[in-house]
């Protein structure tokens, strides 16, 4: 059973930066997909960025390309989301998720991810 714990959310002004962290524990698999998703009030959950812990290129939602980066520290079992040039429309609850049988196929289809963290709130003011 994978446990995911996010941290790093907060309130910033537009143009600011935040770095989210997600610590994974209890996993049995050596390589799996991990992603960041977000959900604003009244909106559907959407994928932000995802990466395969084994190797390969990450994927990003068009809305965050060039502003957000995703990275990992496998030694610390930690996933990061660096968010720069934040906009008010980035305001949402951000979730870390893991798909333990993705087979290296990195994607942002949220209902295929089988483990989720509790979320961390990001609020961007104009």
**pLDDT for the residue 101:** 86
Measured between alpha carbons, how far is 89 from 24 in angstroms, rounded to an integer? 28
pLDDT, the chain, mean: 93
Handedness of CA 56, 114, 109, 73 (dihedral sign): negative
pLDDT of residue 31 exceeding 90, the answer is: no
């Amino acid at each position: 059973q994978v446990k995911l714990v996010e941290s790093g959310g907060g309130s910033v002004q537009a143009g600011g930066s935040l770095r989210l962290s997600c610590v994974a524990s209890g996993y049995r698999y050596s390589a799996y997909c991990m992603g960041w998703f977000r959900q604003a009030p009244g909106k559907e959950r959407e994928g932000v960025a995802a990466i395969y812990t084994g190797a390969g290129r990450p994927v990003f939602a068009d809305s965050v390309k060039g502003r957000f980066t995703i990275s990992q520290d496998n030694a610390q079992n930690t996933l990061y989301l660096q968010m720069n040039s934040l906009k008010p429309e980035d305001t949402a609850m951000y979730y870390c998720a893991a798909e333990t049988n993705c087979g290296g196929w990195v994607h942002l289809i949220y209902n295929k991810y089988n483990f989720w963290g509790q979320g961390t709130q990001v609020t961007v003011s104009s």
